[in-house]
Chains A and B, each alone.
Chain A
């Protein structure tokens, strides 16, 4: 892995801006270390949370003897534990991601997002797991918070080349089954799949207690459809060619696209996920810092 390639994936501007903002788990995530993230597990750790009346069967070790001495009542001490969280980065590596009208393809951009996020998460000593998928998982890096992880991530990202179609929903369901510790699931994809199924997958992940962030990566041309003249569209995922005059269907195309995005956004909101629209023509740092600032605002209590 040469330096240049790594630089390509790691946007220094994005990272430097994002670092200051930090990637806090929006919700309580269980973890090993008392880190910056609050653990949802109450018990025996460092930070006192509350008292609870003793109930038969409770471990007597947690009985607050001081309160018993003073008041003759049985209270159990409860603690909050700051946990280390695991960020599962799900990167869509299907063929449709190969499209790009500008400098980057959607996949390039998605890889950059993945790399930057990985770097930041690892930097704050949280763990990440990387999963590149199309119809099934193609490349998987198990969770790790070691500093060498970033190199593995970058290498894996750089080496990946898409070949097949998308089937996000299946992958999401698989992931929901696999994740045993709750954490953040970051989905980076154009989500060109049945949006209902995608939303079901997200819902499944949410039911597992995971926080889900969706980076919806779309190209500028896909968003604006600026074509004129007679154009033959060659589908990227084995879809037959279509010959048409795009300017005559632009409006309905944009309408369809908007409907698709709206469905996804609303579905995400319903499931309390973050939906981040990404336009590949925008600088990465804008998107990342924008999102992280938003995130900071919503998680600060």
Chain B
């Protein structure tokens, strides 16, 4: 027996009230002088005992009434497993419906999510009258559909029926945590959590934590005393193929040129898959390219190259698709790409004199324009070479990227111009060399203006000694620019020889300690994590692109404003290294260029559930942007977002990326459209399920049921829900007492 409002038990002290009234009343009488005392005495002798008993009875009734009232208000409740007389107690339940992508797995007739919805409806049906239920959709976050338990179970049924599957990945923990939090402050004798999920191992990564909080919450006598029911809806599917990755291999994405995309297909099943057709289509048009994977063994991934071409510059989506199987969510993957018309590069040569080969920019120009001299005019990268001395009079805004090769130094006004140029989205690539003024670089560019991502240390090595060299790292490339070489098939950077290079000392990022404080909260609230553009500062964190074999940084970059700065540690010519004559130089430069130019477009592709954010021009401030989200329904989902000032610049934010696919964003005035894409977590395609041990250990803290079509959840749930609250019978008793008191008082006070 426990009380839901134990404090009101103090109300039981009110029993003294009738006693006090009784005692007070004894003093309040009317004196009468009387002669015929003998008759009163005689009658009293006859009635004394009866009157005393009546008085006592009345007093007892009144005390009992107050006592019962206090008891009823304290809401006594008893859990019982055997007392069937009391029937079922009311339940405050939280329904957690797993709507992660893996729930989309179909058995040919219905998906796991359909089954989960049915099971959830059954669970609602099984709730005793007067129960309340909250409904959450649990994926990697818990989205509240009904955030506080409602007594309107029809509403709960309705939202369960209308619940939508998402492409998010699954993680059970936040859902359970949220459910417990919701139940924590509820007054109810029985609190229950119903979780409808597939037993995908991926979702139970935090099994130990889940068990811990459930165990804590489930303990008798704990504040919550929550009973958890887990309904596992799995169908032991053995086949699933998924597109696990889609990326642009080419560093730059010019329009009207064939672009190479890498599509990775993973066989998550237990059987070998044959003849997998991978199709690539642009902007939802018919496939432009198709590749066949003849065979894919179980639990393996194969990457294929497919080509596509964008007809126009601007935003495009590329969709890689394989034949649909039972889990449709992962059978296609969409990539958003901004195609560019041309790249105008300004090459500033610090050593323009002499033989063309001797100049600093000779190899750079050829790397940027790797075509025959006749085709240079038509090539999408245009380059202009000026000597360092003329750098101060160059109009930087005419160029998309500026490459400084061995430029000794430049005036303060130019530094400011470069800063403004970066702020507006320009790219800056810097190669040191023998002529540079390291002091200028370190003091002005690094310290004062924080343009450089690293300061220049002492140069090491000797350019004259060609037998003493050092190489680059050969594996574990984690920066996107260098990630290409993770695939040994495309060549290696390891063979490059450096004879002399500056020690790069990357800038220590003071803001990294200042991580966004509300990340966890935002995630719980269903919002995705916002990328770095959210942050107010202009100067981004320095990242190492490439290291030397000994671990020292070889290339360092940092976002700056809307642009990016890349600093090499060695020269752009062959004076200090042989990189320019290596085959890797061209892709390296193109990818670097791509990284610098696509600084803004990095965030075009987000993980499902992650927020999309994009800096917009000043003219967009305060405008409404309409986001059309991909949807399985015929009617596209439209949502509108206001472009707001965040961190000093207008920012478009969209956090509702629950589904994978292309999102169209349009602003009416000034008319602009852009696209971004959300890609589901490939881990969701996994067929790996919870192990039997996991299920068993989960069974120690929760009631685990495996769903089957003829499983009666009602029976299973009702079995241990016996017990009751007693306030109603107590209140009836109070009423009975009140009625009895009235009757008895009336009857007793009649003349006898």
Q: Chain A residues near B33: list those with CB within 8 A.
A: 99, 233-234, 236
A234 and B34 contact, CB distance less than 8 A: yes
Q: Report the Cα distance A249→B28, complex, angstroms.
A: 19
Q: Is B749 an interface residue (CB 8 A)?
A: yes
Q: Is B384 an interface residue (CB 8 A)?
A: no
Q: Is A247 an interface residue (CB 8 A)?
A: yes
Q: Is B668 an interface residue (CB 8 A)?
A: no
Contact with B along A81-119 (1 / 0, CB 8 A): 000000000000001111100000010000000000000
Chain B nearest Cβ from A251, distance in angstroms = 5
Q: Chain A residues near B395: list those with CB within 8 A.
A: none
B46 and A252 contact, CB distance less than 8 A: yes
Contact of B40 among A229, A233, A237, A255 (CB under 8 A): A233
Q: Report the nearest A residue to B25, measured CB to CB.
A: A230
Contact of A222 among B28, B35, B749 (CB under 8 A): B35
Q: Chain A residues near B748: list those with CB within 8 A.
A: 248
Q: Report the Cα distance A106→B33, complex, angstroms.
A: 13
Q: Chain A residues near B46: list those with CB within 8 A.
A: 249, 252
B39 and A256 contact, CB distance less than 8 A: yes
A243 and B39 contact, CB distance less than 8 A: no
A190 and B35 contact, CB distance less than 8 A: yes
Instruction: Given the known inter-chain contacts A230-B29, A230-B30, A232-B29, please indicate yes or no for A248 contacting B749, CB distance below 8 A.
Output: yes
Q: Chain B residues near A97: list those with CB within 8 A.
A: 35
Chain B nearest Cβ from A226, distance in angstroms = 10
Contact with A along B33-44 (1 / 0, CB 8 A): 111111111111
A192 and B36 contact, CB distance less than 8 A: yes
Q: Chain B residues near A230: list those with CB within 8 A.
A: 25-26, 28-30
Contact with B along A235-256 (1 / 0, CB 8 A): 1110100111111111111011
B35 and A250 contact, CB distance less than 8 A: no
Q: Is A49 an interface residue (CB 8 A)?
A: no
Q: Is B697 an interface residue (CB 8 A)?
A: no
A249 and B40 contact, CB distance less than 8 A: yes
Q: Chain B residues near A243: list those with CB within 8 A.
A: 26, 29
Chain B nearest Cβ from A108, distance in angstroms = 13
Per the CB 8 Å criterion, the residue count for chain B at the interface is 27
Q: Chain A residues near B34: list those with CB within 8 A.
A: 99, 233-236
Interface residues of B in 176-218 (CB under 8 A from A): none
Q: Chain A residues near B749: list those with CB within 8 A.
A: 245, 247-248
Q: Report the Cα distance A74→B38, complex, angstroms.
A: 64
A231 and B32 contact, CB distance less than 8 A: yes
Size class of the contact patch on chain A: 35 or more
Q: Is B752 an interface residue (CB 8 A)?
A: yes
B39 and A253 contact, CB distance less than 8 A: yes
A99 and B39 contact, CB distance less than 8 A: no
Interface residues of B in 647-697 (CB under 8 A from A): none
B35 and A98 contact, CB distance less than 8 A: yes
Interface residues of A in 201-235 (CB under 8 A from B): 218-219, 222, 227, 229-235
Q: Report the Cα distance A256→B51, complex, angstroms.
A: 18
Q: Report the Cα distance A35→B159, complex, angstroms.
A: 119
Chain A nearest Cβ from B33, distance in angstroms = 5
Q: Report the nearest B residue to A194, measured CB to CB.
A: B38
Chain B nearest Cβ from A236, distance in angstroms = 5
Interface residues of A in 184-198 (CB under 8 A from B): 190, 192
B43 and A239 contact, CB distance less than 8 A: no
Instruction: Given the known inter-chain contacts A248-B752, A249-B752, please indicate yes or no for A232 contacting B36, CB distance below 8 A.
Output: no
Q: Is B751 an interface residue (CB 8 A)?
A: yes
Contact of A232 among B25, B30, B39 (CB under 8 A): B30
A245 and B51 contact, CB distance less than 8 A: yes
Contact of A256 among B29, B32, B43, B752 (CB under 8 A): B43
Q: Chain B residues near A247: list those with CB within 8 A.
A: 749-751
Chain B nearest Cβ from A205, distance in angstroms = 24
Q: Report the Cα distance A246→B29, complex, angstroms.
A: 12
Q: Report the Cα distance A252→B751, complex, angstroms.
A: 9
Chain A nearest Cβ from B46, distance in angstroms = 5
Q: Is A260 an interface residue (CB 8 A)?
A: yes
Q: Report the Cα distance A237→B28, complex, angstroms.
A: 24
B37 and A235 contact, CB distance less than 8 A: yes
A249 and B32 contact, CB distance less than 8 A: no
Q: Report the nearest A residue to B55, measured CB to CB.
A: A245
Q: Is A257 an interface residue (CB 8 A)?
A: yes
Q: Report the Cα distance A106→B32, complex, angstroms.
A: 16
Contact with A along B68-110 (1 / 0, CB 8 A): 0000000000000000000000000000000000000000000
Q: Is B708 an interface residue (CB 8 A)?
A: no
A231 and B30 contact, CB distance less than 8 A: yes
Contact of A251 among B30, B38, B751 (CB under 8 A): B751
Contact of A96 among B29, B35, B40, B751 (CB under 8 A): B35
Instruction: Given the known inter-chain contacts A248-B51, A248-B749, please indicate yes or no for A231 contacting B39, CB distance below 8 A.
Output: no
B30 and A249 contact, CB distance less than 8 A: no
A222 and B36 contact, CB distance less than 8 A: yes
A249 and B44 contact, CB distance less than 8 A: yes
Q: Is B356 an interface residue (CB 8 A)?
A: no
Q: Chain B residues near A256: list those with CB within 8 A.
A: 38-39, 42-43
Q: Chain A residues near B38: list those with CB within 8 A.
A: 192, 239, 256
Q: Report the Cα distance A257→B39, complex, angstroms.
A: 6
Q: Report the Cα distance A245→B36, complex, angstroms.
A: 16
Q: Chain B residues near A251: list those with CB within 8 A.
A: 751-752
10 contacts between A and B (CB under 8 A): A227-B32, A233-B34, A233-B37, A234-B31, A235-B37, A247-B750, A248-B750, A248-B751, A255-B43, A256-B38
Known: A227-B32, A248-B750. 14 other contacts (CB 8 A): A192-B36, A219-B35, A222-B35, A233-B32, A233-B37, A239-B41, A242-B37, A242-B40, A245-B51, A248-B751, A249-B44, A249-B751, A252-B43, A252-B752
Please name the 9 residue pairs, one residue from A and one from B, whose CB atoms are nearest each other, closest first: A99-B35, A250-B751, A252-B43, A96-B35, A249-B43, A233-B34, A230-B29, A235-B37, A256-B39
